[in-house]
Structure 1
Amino acid sequence: MLDLLTVQSSAAYPTVITMAYTLLLAFVCSTAIGFTYEHTFLGLSYSRNFVQALVLSSVVAATVMQAIGDNVGRGLGMLGALSIVRFRTSFKDPRDIMFLFAALGAGIGCGVFAWGIAAGGTLTFCVIAFVLSRSGLGTKNFFDGMLRFAMPNNSESRAQLEKIMRANIKTFVLITMREVDGGERIDVAYQVRLRRKRPANEVLKELTLVPGISDIHFMMQDATTEV
């Protein structure tokens, strides 16, 4: 059986087996990071290409670090070569940047043959990411979502609507109102906080009892974060 400590200590001139172990470990670590990103992602702008880029960036980082080794000249040359390439990809979510850094860090760790640090750091990062996604740390949403619909512009419909909303919604705040169809109808939007025992589909079903109501839309707070 191959002694991994012996392989790691002979890193000055990597052998084919050492390079294979390094690239394989970089692939495994980055795949774990990509899996974690996929299962903890919240929002609308999910990208399959970004997940694959996490894996590829780790392998590339490991390859670059092996090519540089302890040679200062190679490092400066690589720095000059990379300075020519301009990365113009923008990230809307700072969390995406952290996952990219994690993948690059795992690749760099593998490339300098710090296999234990790369594997341990990747495992710790993935566990913490899962814990944070389940804990709700940082969540500060007073409202559950936005409710929007159109209804007749008369006092009877408004009174019936208010009665239904007070019975089914814990808190609601009017945010927009505009007249349509020459003032005969109004288009309104509310920020709402649902009652625990009243899911959104039941609330929408109750709203359909208002005569003339139409175009009912309910958008959850997590989904409207990026809109």
Structure 2
Amino acid sequence: MKETLLKYLAESSNTISVEQIIVNFLVAIVFSLIIYLSYRFSHSRVVYSARFNVSLVMLTIITTMVMAVIGNNVALSLGMVGALSIVRFRTAIKDPRDAVYIFWCIVVGICCGASEYLIVSIGSAFIFLFLLIFGYVKSNDKYLLVIHSKIEGESNIEKKILLYYNGKALMRVKNTTAEKIEYIYEISKYIMDKYNKNDSSITKELYLIDGVTAVNIVCQNEDINR
């Protein structure tokens, strides 16, 4: 039984012609360029990385090359899995969509290496349109309102924020000492725009309170946080 299994593993491979290998690589290059364009147009300037986009193209071609080496050889595929299992990827992903593009490149490379052109064509068409459409979905920007004041302005600041934003500003941090106090409020972009008054901004209103020394407004963006 053992000898039969070893013989099967050694002989279970089909030789791929040079012409077929060239066609697989050409198709992989075409689809990698489609992925390149999709990533380029679906990412904003803040999170777009040209180097990562080029890496996606190379990942597709490299996966196709790996599939060309493995072919239908079961023994070689098991050895390849063992060799790749020792590789650890520690590159931080700034945008969750980057993981989708990585898996897309791997799947395209596998399909091209296996000459499954119909599957990769239909699948890539759907993914391309989906990512292109939903790539314009903006992240949920939030604002942090940071207030520094003397301790005597505590009650007036809380009342002012409560009235100005109609209770929709969330207090996240309140640091106090014997002489000073610090507030950090979290406000959504919608609430910030809705209650922003042209004649009197929140900063002007806060500076009218005795004891307030500094007011900072910071945009907390999902893409920048990563």
Shifted more, 70-79 versus 198-207: the winner is 198-207
Match runs of 1:44-123 below 5 Å: 47-83=49-85, 85-89=86-90, 95-123=97-125
Letter in 1 for 2:206: V
Cα 1:214/1:223, change in 2 over 3 Å: farther
| Matches of 2:56 and 2:21, distance apart in 1 | 20
| Matches of 1:202 and 1:55, distance apart in 2 | 49
Contact 2:169 2:185 in 1 (8 A): yes
Cα 1:223/1:95, change in 2 over 3 Å: closer
Task: Confirm whether residue 14 of structure 1 aligns to residue 17 of structure 2.
Answer: yes
Letter in 1 for 2:149: M
Letter in 2 for 1:206: I
Q: Secondary structure at the match of 1:190?
A: strand
Letter in 2 for 1:172: A
Q: Could you tell me the TM-score, scaled by structure 2's length?
A: 0.68
Show structure 1 runs of 5+ residues with no match: 1-10
Cα 1:197/1:74, change in 2 over 3 Å: closer
Number of aligned residue pairs: give it: 206
Question: What residue in structure 2 maps to residue 175 of structure 1?
Answer: 172
Contact 1:179 1:187 in 2 (8 A): yes
Q: Which has the larger radius of gyration?
A: 2
| Matches of 2:132 and 2:213, distance apart in 1 | 42
Contact 1:164 1:207 in 2 (8 A): no
| Matches of 2:200 and 2:149, distance apart in 1 | 14
Task: Confirm whether residue 207 of structure 1 aligns to residue 191 of structure 2.
Answer: no
Deviations 1:26-54 (A, max 9, x none): 23323333443454458x87654433322
| Matches of 2:52 and 2:160, distance apart in 1 | 47
Letter in 2 for 1:166: L
Question: What residue in structure 2 maps to residue 219 of structure 1?
Answer: 219
Cα 1:79/1:145, change in 2 over 3 Å: same
Contact 1:161 1:207 in 2 (8 A): no
Q: Secondary structure at the match of 1:146?
A: strand
User: What's the CA shift for 1:65?
Assistant: 1.3
| Matches of 2:132 and 2:116, distance apart in 1 | 25
Contact 1:36 1:126 in 2 (8 A): yes
Shifted more, 118-127 versus 56-65: the winner is 118-127
Identity %, equivalent residues: 20
User: What's the CA shift for 1:13?
Assistant: 3.2
RMSD: 3.9
Select which of 141, 146, 149 maps to 1:148. Answer: 146
Shifted more, 51-60 versus 209-218: the winner is 209-218
Letter in 1 for 2:218: F
| Matches of 2:30 and 2:56, distance apart in 1 | 11
Letter in 1 for 2:184: A
Deviations 1:168-218 (A, max 9, x none): 5671121211136x51x3211012234375487979953144334425032
Show structure 2 runs of 5+ residues with no match: 1-13
Q: Could you tell me the TM-score, scaled by structure 1's length?
A: 0.68
Contact 1:37 1:51 in 2 (8 A): yes
| Matches of 1:202 and 1:172, distance apart in 2 | 19
Cα 1:41/1:167, change in 2 over 3 Å: same
Letter in 2 for 1:126: F
Deviations 1:122-162 (A, max 9, x none): 221122223444467xx9x7x9433223233334x853674
| Matches of 1:191 and 1:120, distance apart in 2 | 44
Contact 1:170 1:195 in 2 (8 A): no
| Matches of 1:202 and 1:26, distance apart in 2 | 55
